[in-house]
């Protein structure tokens, strides 16, 4: 219940006036509904009092009563005079009931939707603060499912529970009171069955909550699988694995179906129906005997039966609401699990803003591990002076990209520290640190938006002239103006309507527009063809000018002109120096060079290539 009370705190901003009005409408609806049996009793009593002799009824059998039911002109006049009042009463009750029902339904829907919107806003805001490690451990579809499907269940928990508490419970209490007023003995028999219903309901509620949680987890897995299929549709088609992927989906979907039906079993068991049938059967028998012996009790008995019948509906809805609450609590558990996940990377106490880079970046004895006991980087000592280019090389899996990810604090170091101008980056605000860093990777992420908005991402108020200037510097302007709508052209998910080289040039334009003093290039041209690589290299040369740059590269042809080359092997720096120095005395670098560069150089006749991140620098070294 702790989660339920926590969830109800989201109602607090809407307690006045909407929630108060909704409660008033619910109570009004319950009052009108509860009054119906009483009106019926009065109608029966009126007819019997006006048409028949009340004193004589006590000693008459039903056969005698049937023979004596005659209506005199005076009695008929009384009935005709009462008829307009009855019609008006019915119309007033109907309009009042409908108005209260509309008000309660609309207002609770508004509140429920508002709570759901607020919860989703809070979830996504919290997710923006979570570190990269969180997203690495979870599939995208499962995270999306918590924000969509789980929150939708929570909405039902808020609206249905509130409606039942104030409307159905009020109706239940009112109708029970009415039943007691009509016949307290029969009412006691009926009410005694309520506690009996609580025993199986408690068991079924627990089972339903467990099944609902498994169902939400299954929906998350199904969403993750669909997300994977959509993103990887080209790979699926290229390998002819459409049937395999369909089989995977069917397996997950069928498993979800079985979980859903288990939940439906507990939700649909006719506990209330069986108990209601027992109650009504016993009451009809006992009450029928009383009416046979005393015809005057007919009005009260009919009103009691109607009250009992009407009482069944709010009782059944309360039971159903309990099932909805169990499903909603299962969704709330998953939602609050996400909300309670604390980010591992955040602003430290007293964090200050970074204002410019004057000296450079330094690594002091840095260790890092994604998982405890599995180090990826070991005792890294590295200095990147301001305005210089430092390249990281080594075999795949050596820790190059991980080292680069530590500078913008996508992850925090396990041991040691990283400083900018002598200050630990953990003592800087994340916003100011990342504002000073531009990142271009081989996996260029573009949003399903226009070219203009993708270039200006992070600073949408930039002028058109600034955006065009950045695109020109990135060698992107020419292909952009050839697009159907120029800079306003939509590029699809992940920029699927663009080539690899075009996507990369947009990423460079985005970095140019950001104009950050620190630049990280992570395999920025590794997947490009020769023509695209040449255009990107020109753009990179402009991008790197007067910036402190860290280049991650596999191909040595791309980093020959770096101010310093650092060789990483299994997470440790084993060699460091210029290209020529490392060829002379560096065993690991020379091994890499012999594996991938010497043959290329001989084919090129010794010419200097451009490269992945570091083109030939114009200034002499």
pLDDT, one tens digit per residue, over 452-495 is 999 999 788 889 999 999 999 888 999 999 999 999 999 988 78
406, 522 contact by CB (below 8 A):
no
In-domain check, residue 180: yes
Q: What is the pLDDT of residues 162-171, one digit of tens each?
A: 777 787 788 7
- pTM exceeds 0.75 for this model: no
In-domain check, residue 445: no
In-domain check, residue 454: no
DSSP conformational letter for 352: B
Residues 90 and 230 in one domain: yes
d(CA 6, CA 15): 15
Hey, is 521 helix, strand or coil? strand
Residue 537 dihedral angles phi and psi, to the nearest 5°: -65, -40
For residue 216, with 0-12 CB atoms within 10 Å meaning exposed, 13-18 middle and 19 or more buried, which class applies? buried
Laid out side by side, the sheet with 518-522 consists of 437-441, 518-522, 548-552, 389-393, 564-569, 572-577
Q: Residue 367: pLDDT above 90? A: yes
Give me the pLDDT at residue 336, please: 92
Q: What is the pLDDT of residues 303-341, one digit of tens each?
A: 777 777 777 777 777 777 777 788 888 888 889 999 999
Give me the pLDDT at residue 603, please: 45
Q: Which of 141-145, 386-390, 605-609 has the lowest mean pLDDT?
A: 605-609
Which of 149-163, 285-299, 449-463, 545-559 has the highest mean predicted lDDT (pLDDT)? 449-463
Residues 70 and 201 in one domain: yes
d(CA 563, CA 383): 12
Residues 34 and 136 in one domain: yes
Question: Where does the pLDDT of residue 615 fall: very low under 50, low under 70, confident under 90, or very high at 90 and above?
Answer: very low
399, 571 contact by CB (below 8 A):
yes
540, 512 contact by CB (below 8 A):
no
Question: Where does the pLDDT of residue 610 fall: very low under 50, low under 70, confident under 90, or very high at 90 and above?
Answer: very low
d(CA 303, CA 96): 21
Residues 138 and 185 in one domain: yes
Please give the structure tokens belonging to residue 64: 């005698």
Give me the pLDDT at residue 297, please: 60
Question: Where does the pLDDT of residue 187 fall: very low under 50, low under 70, confident under 90, or very high at 90 and above?
Answer: confident
In-domain check, residue 78: yes
Residues 242 and 157 in one domain: yes
d(CA 527, CA 487): 25
Integer CA distances (angstroms), 154 to 10, 205, 239, 263, in order:
11, 16, 41, 17
Where residue 110 sits, what CATH number does that domain have? Answer: 1.20.1560.10
216, 149 contact by CB (below 8 A):
yes
Count of domains in the chain? 2
Residue 444 dihedral angles phi and psi, to the nearest 5°: -70, 120
Question: Where does the pLDDT of residue 7 fall: very low under 50, low under 70, confident under 90, or very high at 90 and above?
Answer: confident
| DSSP calls for 262-280 | HHHHHHH--HHHHHHHHHH
Residues 199 and 308 in one domain: yes
The mean pLDDT of the chain is: 80
109, 22 contact by CB (below 8 A):
no
Residue 360 dihedral angles phi and psi, to the nearest 5°: 135, -165
Instruction: Find tokens 């949408």 and name the residue.
Output: 460
Residues 181 and 284 in one domain: yes
In-domain check, residue 506: no
578, 565 contact by CB (below 8 A):
yes
d(CA 391, CA 292): 101
Give me the pLDDT at residue 364, please: 96
Residues 423 and 311 in one domain: no
Average pLDDT over residues 368-374: 90
Average pLDDT over residues 182-190: 75
DSSP H or E segment with residue 346: none
> Which residue, of 313, 339, 365, is where some domain finishes?
339
Give me the pLDDT at residue 606, please: 45
Residues 323 and 376 in one domain: no
Where residue 554 sits, what CATH number does that domain have? Answer: 3.40.50.300
| DSSP calls for 557-601 | GGSTT-SEEEEEETTEEEEEE-HHHHHHH-HHHHHHHHHHTHHHH
Q: Residue 57: pLDDT above 90? A: no
> With b meaning 16 or more CB within 10 Å and e meaning fewer, what string describes 70-85?
eeeeeeeebeeeeeee
Residues 328 and 359 in one domain: no
In-domain check, residue 574: yes
Give me the pLDDT at residue 74, please: 66
Give me the pLDDT at residue 387, please: 92
Integer CA distances (angstroms), 316 to 115, 227, 281, 529, in order:
26, 39, 18, 68
Question: Where does the pLDDT of residue 621 fall: very low under 50, low under 70, confident under 90, or very high at 90 and above?
Answer: very low
Instruction: Find tokens 């019915």 and name the residue.
Output: 90
List the alpha helices (DSSP H) in 365-463.
Answer: 400-406, 430-435, 451-455
> Which residue, of 309, 339, 369, is where some domain finishes?
339
Q: What is the pLDDT of residues 70-129, one digit of tens each?
A: 555 665 566 566 667 667 777 887 888 889 989 988 998 898 889 989 999 999 899 988
Residue-number span of the structural domain to which 146 is assigned: 16-339
Question: Where does the pLDDT of residue 291 fall: very low under 50, low under 70, confident under 90, or very high at 90 and above?
Answer: low
In-domain check, residue 272: yes
d(CA 349, CA 328): 37
Give me the pLDDT at residue 614, please: 47
Give me the pLDDT at residue 425, please: 96
Q: Which of 27-31, 87-91, 613-617 has the lowest mean pLDDT?
A: 613-617
DSSP conformational letter for 617: P
Instruction: Find tokens 């006045």 and name the residue.
Output: 16
Which of 112-126, 191-205, 515-529 has the highest mean predicted lDDT (pLDDT)? 112-126
In-domain check, residue 521: no
Give me the pLDDT at residue 84, please: 72
Residues 73 and 114 in one domain: yes
Give me the pLDDT at residue 456, please: 92
Give me the pLDDT at residue 70, please: 53
Give me the pLDDT at residue 360, please: 94
> Which residue, of 286, 308, 339, is where some domain finishes?
339
Residues 68 and 101 in one domain: yes
Q: What is the pLDDT of residues 256-266, one digit of tens each?
A: 888 888 877 87
């Amino acid at each position: 219940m702790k989660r339920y009370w926590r969830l109800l705190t989201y109602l607090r901003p809407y307690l006045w006036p909407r929630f108060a009005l909704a409660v008033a409408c619910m109570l009004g609806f319950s009052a009108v509904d509860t009054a119906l049996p009483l009106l019926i009793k009065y109608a029966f009593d009126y007819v019997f009092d006006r048409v028949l002799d009340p004193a004589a009824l006590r000693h008459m059998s039903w056969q005698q009563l049937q023979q004596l039911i005659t209506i005199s002109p005076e009695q008929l006049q009384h009935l005709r005079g009462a008829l307009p009042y009855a019609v008006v009463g019915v119309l007033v009750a109907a309009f009042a009931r409908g108005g209260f029902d509309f008000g309660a339904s609309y207002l609770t829907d508004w509140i429920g939707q508002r709570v759901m919107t607020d919860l989703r806003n809070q979830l996504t805001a919290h997710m923006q603060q979570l570190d990269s490690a969180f997203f690495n451990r979870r599939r995208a579809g499962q995270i999306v499912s918590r924000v969509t499907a789980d929150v939708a269940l929570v909405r039902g928990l808020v609206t249905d529970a509130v409606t039942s508490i104030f409307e159905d419970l009020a109706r239940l209490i009112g109708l029970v009171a009415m039943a007691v007023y009509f016949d307290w003995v029969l009412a006691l028999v009926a009410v005694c069955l309520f506690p009996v219903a609580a025993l199986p309901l408690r068991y079924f509620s627990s089972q339903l909550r467990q099944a609902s949680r498994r169902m939400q987890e299954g929906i998350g897995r199904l969403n993750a699988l669909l997300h994977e299929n959509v993103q990887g549709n080209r790979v699926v088609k290229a390998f002819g694995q459409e049937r395999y992927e369909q089989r995977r989906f069917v397996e997950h979907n069928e498993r979800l179906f079985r979980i859903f039906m288990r939940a439906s079993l507990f939700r649909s068991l006719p506990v209330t129906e069986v108990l209601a049938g027992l109650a009504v059967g016993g009451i009809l028998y006992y009450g029928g005997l009383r009416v046979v012996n005393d015809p005057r009790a007919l009005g009260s008995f009919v009103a009691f039966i109607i009250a009992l019948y009407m009482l069944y509906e709010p009782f059944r809805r309360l039971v159903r609401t309990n099932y909805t609450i169990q499903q909603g609590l299962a969704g709330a558990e998953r939602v609050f699990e996400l909300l309670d996940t604390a980010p591992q990377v955040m602003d430290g106490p007293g964090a200050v803003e970074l204002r410019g880079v004057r000296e450079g970046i330094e690594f002091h004895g840095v260790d890092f591990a994604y998982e405890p006991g599995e180090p990826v980087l070991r005792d890294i000592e590295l200095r990147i002076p301001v305005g210089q280019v430092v390249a990281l090389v080594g075999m795949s899996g050596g820790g190059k990209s991980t080292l680069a990810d530590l500078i913008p604090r996508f992850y925090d170091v396990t041991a040691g520290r990283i400083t900018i101008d002598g200050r630990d980056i953990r003592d800087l605000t994340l916003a100011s640190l990342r504002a000073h860093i531009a990142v271009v990777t081989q996996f260029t992420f573009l949003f399903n938006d226009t070219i203009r908005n993708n270039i200006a991402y992070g600073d949408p108020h930039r002028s058109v002239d600034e955006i065009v200037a950045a695109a020109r510097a990135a060698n992107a302007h020419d292909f952009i103006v050839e697009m159907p709508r120029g800079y306003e052209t939509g590029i699809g998910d992940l920029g699927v309507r663009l080539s690899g080289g075009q996507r990369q040039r947009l990423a460079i334009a985005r970095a140019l527009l950001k104009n950050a003093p620190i630049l990280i290039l992570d395999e920025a041209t590794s997947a490009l063809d020769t023509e695209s690589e040449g255009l990107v290299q020109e753009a990179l040369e402009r991008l790197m000018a007067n910036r402190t740059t860290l280049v991650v590269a596999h191909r040595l042809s791309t980093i020959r002109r770096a101010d310093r080359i650092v060789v990483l092997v299994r997470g440790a720096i084993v060699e460091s120096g210029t290209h020529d120095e490392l060829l002379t005395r560096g065993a690991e670098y020379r091994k890499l060079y012999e594996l991938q560069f010497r043959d290329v150089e001989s084919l090129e006749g010794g010419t200097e290539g451009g490269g992945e991140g570091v083109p030939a620098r114009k200034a002499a070294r």
